[in-house]
């Protein structure tokens, strides 16, 4: 972790202030420039590739062969593609409200020749085409902040509970709302990306729900909930089911190959975020190097 990041986190830690939540200006991302910038950031070599691999490993640790898994707000499917490739014996449904995003997702999956994913258009607050108790697992990565308000957040989590099987598993992660506007701006600018991506990233941080708001919404999922928050400041918050399986040898080999494909700088970023979570009691399910 760089000195500048640590300084901002320490300022967050001692700050008494609070930032109000500012909802995203575009709750459904239809703009082609936004879609393209977001998609490129998650591609191999993109600035978010290391984070996608991190979440892919954590998600993999709660999956079983033969599972049917729903990914809420899958976007351009870079994250979903990574998870699906690590778990070829699992079936995935990627749901998104944006036709533009879904078209981008189709291209992502086709280029990667990923065949165990079905894409559907839909609203994660109203999963009207999915039966109750039909999913072995539901995942949602870095998308809940796109919801307009707490009522929508609660509605989404009630739908998650409805479509999950009684012993179904889940992995839900998003930004937590930081206290300082300066910290939000720092993390957006620190990625050194296009003006479009930087502004969208900043808007996402401002739209984040607080840890308490997220925890209250997740409560209907029952007692089988583990909460993990990055130390010093809630930059990222994870809620997952307690179930965890050992990483088998073929999956571990695929994970190590994915890690090896990251640029050295992104491998270092991966280690940083893994250490950040490890310091708060949330280790990786496997060792990659």
287 found inside a domain: no
pLDDT for res 21: 96
pLDDT for res 28: 61
283 found inside a domain: no
Contacts of 120 (CB under 8 A, 6+ apart): 93, 94, 95, 129
173 found inside a domain: yes
Mutual orientation of helices 181-190 and 195-206 as an angle, nearest 10°?
A: 150
152 found inside a domain: yes
pLDDT for res 36: 59
Reading the block at residue 289, the tokens are 């190097």
CA distance linking residue 37 with residue 104, whole number of Å:
11
Number of compact structural domains in the chain: 1
pLDDT for res 206: 96
pLDDT for res 43: 60
Q: 211: helix, coil or strand?
A: helix
255: left (phi > 0), else alpha (psi -120 to 50), else beta? Answer: alpha
Residue 152: which domain range? 3-278
pLDDT for res 176: 97
Reading the block at residue 139, the tokens are 């995942």
Reading the block at residue 189, the tokens are 């600018």
pLDDT for res 289: 77
CB count, 10 Å around CB of 160? 24
284 found inside a domain: no
In degrees and rounded to multiples of 5, residue 188 shows phi and psi of: -70, -45
Mean pLDDT per 10-residue section of the chain, whose length is 289 residues: 84 89 76 58 74 97 97 96 97 96 95 96 96 98 96 98 96 97 91 83 96 96 92 96 92 96 93 94 91
pLDDT for res 250: 95
pLDDT for res 193: 74
Q: Which residues pair with 111 in a beta bridge?
A: none
Contacts of 71 (CB under 8 A, 6+ apart): 79, 80, 83, 92, 93, 94, 95, 138, 139, 140, 141
247 found inside a domain: yes
288 found inside a domain: no
pLDDT for res 2: 80
pLDDT for res 29: 57
pLDDT for res 197: 83
The kind and range of the H/E element at 23 are none
Reading the block at residue 170, the tokens are 């889940």
CATH number for the domain harbouring residue 210:
3.40.50.150
141 found inside a domain: yes
The kind and range of the H/E element at 227 are strand 226-229
């Amino acid at each position: 972790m760089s000195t500048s990041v640590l300084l901002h986190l320490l300022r967050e830690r001692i700050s008494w202030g609070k930032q109000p939540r500012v909802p995203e200006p575009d709750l459904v991302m239809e703009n082609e420039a936004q879609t393209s910038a977001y998609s490129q950031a998650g591609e191999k070599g993109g600035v978010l590739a290391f984070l996608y691999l991190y979440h892919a490993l954590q998600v993999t640790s709660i999956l079983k062969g033969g599972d049917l898994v729903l990914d809420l707000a899958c976007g351009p499917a870079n994250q979903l593609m990574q998870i699906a490739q690590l778990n070829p014996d699992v079936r995935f449904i990627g749901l998104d409200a944006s036709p533009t995003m879904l078209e981008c997702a189709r291209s992502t999956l086709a280029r990667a020749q990923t065949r165990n994913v079905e894409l559907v258009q839909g609203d994660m607050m109203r999963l009207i085409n999915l039966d109750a108790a039909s999913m072995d697992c539901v995942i949602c990565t870095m998308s809940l902040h796109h919801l307009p308000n707490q009522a929508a957040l609660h509605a989404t989590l009630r739908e998650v509970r409805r479509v999950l099987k009684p012993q179904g598993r889940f992995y839900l992660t998003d930004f937590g709302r930081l206290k300082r506007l300066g910290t939000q701006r720092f993390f957006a600018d620190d990625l050194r990306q296009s003006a479009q991506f930087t502004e969208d990233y900043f808007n996402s941080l401002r739209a984040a729900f607080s840890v308490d708001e997220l925890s209250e919404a997740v409560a209907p999922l029952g007692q089988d909930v583990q909460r993990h928050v990055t130390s010093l400041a809630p930059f990222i918050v994870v809620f997952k089911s307690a179930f965890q399986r050992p990483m088998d040898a073929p999956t571990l080999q695929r994970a190590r190959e994915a890690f090896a494909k990251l640029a050295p700088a992104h491998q270092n970023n991966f280690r940083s975020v893994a250490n950040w979570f490890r310091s708060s009691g949330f280790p990786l399910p496997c060792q990659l190097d």
